[in-house]
Amino acid sequence: MTATTPRGASPALEEPFIPLAVPELRGNEARYVQECLDSGWVSSAGAFVERFEADVASAVGARHAVATASGTAALHVALLVAGVQPGDEVLVSALTFIAPANAIRYAGAWPVFIDAEREYAQLDPAQVAEFLAGCEPCAGGGVRNPRTGRRVRALLPVHVLGHPVDMDPLLALARATGLAVVEDATESLGARYRGRPVGRLGDVACFSFNGNKLVTTGGGGMLVTDDPALADTARYLTTQAKDDAIEYVHGAVGYNYRLTNVQAAIGVAQMERLDQLLGAKRRIAGRYAEGLRGVAGLEPMAEAAWARSAWWMYTVRIDERSFGMDSRALMRALEDRRIQTRPLWQPLPLSPAHADAVPRACPTAGDWNRRALSLPCSCGLTDGQQERVIEAVREIAATRGGRVG
């Protein structure tokens, strides 16, 4: 304790705070934003919007990209262009941030929550197969769920935490049943599935550029597809469905979902450093795997043999009995050391927001929710900061916390 430490204050309070994930904005972001301000192109048209779309399309290998105000907006429009109609059902991951389920409701459809698998926290294809096996053929595409009488129209796998879903079995099921596939790739820009970029595996895919994502525009999203008709409809719907912009003729109820040029300017600068950002995440993951090896009751994040994760989050699983405390107690103990961590999401079948969806048991999502904790993983995390996190976890494990519950 130093001479300046107030009486009773813990030395840990003097340690600088280590946040879970903050953006890395040290490239051309300010310069490009200044260009927007100087030119007056600050709104939803401008060269940076088109450049950002081209950059993301090229990084993913997709033919078309449509920039949107958020990842949630991209998901909403993706479901509409994929043919989801009010009253349809969409199969979606039970373990995910809530946005994709909300987007299904915006489209007037119903989410059917499918449990996660045990190893990588992703949508479990075996459970999708089991659900679809109980459905009946339906004229006009998709299948009918005999329990609700509703048409199942689409699959919405969410590649959570930077790791891909095991897509091949899902794509085969979608082909066999006539389901559209909308990928929620919002957390996984840069990830690969069996060598193919995430975001190129279904009919249409969505990315997010929220502040906590690998690439950020402050807020923003993107829809990508190889299908020119889907891209055109998405562009039309996200820009108020204008048939004649001068005479204000609108052919449908559209949305004001377009990204601004200022946001896109930040995105272009961020995309210039995509490989660097991905490299930083991979190094952080490697150092955690090394530094936390052998801690009893702590299971590090795994990467499937068929995957190249973008390592958006670094998430560990805590076994309360062998670690000596549960994930929430570890979160609080780290918080006392000024280290921010976060659990995974409440499983969506338990969410009050989706209480009117047909209830489905998703025990593995529940297990991930109870046991998982994401550790600080900003691309700018220094070796010293990461060492502090690793040391703190090891120390807490060694003393079994002292503060359990």
Ligand X SMILES: Cc1ncc(COP(=O)(O)O)c(C=O)c1O
Contact residues for ligand X, defined by CB under 6 A: 70-72, 96-97, 99-100, 158, 184, 186-187, 208, 210, 221
Between 217 and 225, whose beta carbon lies closer to ligand X?
217
Q: Which of 39, 15, 21, 57 is nearest to 376 (CA)?
A: 21
Name, in order, each residue with C-beta under 8 angstroms of 390's C-beta and a sequence gap of 6 or more: 287, 288, 291, 292
Exposed / middle / buried, residue 203 (Cβ in 10 Å: 0-12, 13-18, 19+): buried
Q: Up-side HSE of residue 222: CA atoms within 13 Å toward CB?
A: 34
Please report how close the Cβ of residue 83 comes to ligand X at its closest, in angstroms: 20
Under 8 Å between Cβ of 242 and 258: no
Nearest distance in Å: CB 149, ligand X: 29
Distance in Å, CB of 99 to ligand X, minimum: 3
Compare residues 135 and 271 and give the one whose CB is closer to ligand X. 271
Can you tell me the distance from the alpha carbon of 130 to that of 339, in angstroms, rounded to the nearest whole number? 41
**Nearer Cβ to ligand X, position 218 or 300?**
218
CB distance 166 to 306 below 8 Å:
yes
Q: Give the residue nearest to ligand X (CB).
A: 71
Min. distance of Cβ 103 from ligand X in angstroms?
8
- Smaller CB distance to ligand X: residue 32 or 207? 207
How many Cβ atoms sit within 10 Å of the Cβ of residue 209? 31
Helix (H), strand (E) counts: the chain: 13, 17
> Which CB sits closer to ligand X, 103 or 132?
103
Query: Minimal distance in Å, beta carbon 116 to ligand X?
Result: 13
What percentage of the chain's residues is helix, strand, coil (to nearest 5)?
Answer: 40, 20, 45
Which H or E run contains 244?
strand 242-244
55 or 326: CB nearest ligand X: 55
283 CB burial (10 A radius; 0-12, 13-18, 19+): middle
Q: Which two tokens stand for residue 110?
A: 């119903």
The distance of closest approach from Cβ of residue 296 to ligand X in the complex, given in angstroms and rounded to an integer, is 31
**Residue 83, burial from CB neighbour count under 10 angstroms (0-12, 13-18, 19+):** middle
Q: Nearest distance from residue 160's CB to ligand X, in Å?
A: 6
Closer to ligand X by CB, 237 or 325: give it.
237
User: Do the Cβ atoms of 335 and 373 come closer than 8 Å?
Assistant: no
Rounded-to-10 torsion of CA 85, 89, 92, 94: 130
Q: How far is the CB of 191 from ligand X (least distance, A)?
A: 13
Give the span between the Cα atoms of 175 and 298, in whole angstroms. 39
The nearer residue to ligand X, 59 or 313, going by C-beta atoms, is 313
Nearer to ligand X, 102 or 386 (CB): 102
Least distance from C-beta 75 to ligand X, angstroms? Answer: 6
Token pair of 371 as six digits: 């046991």
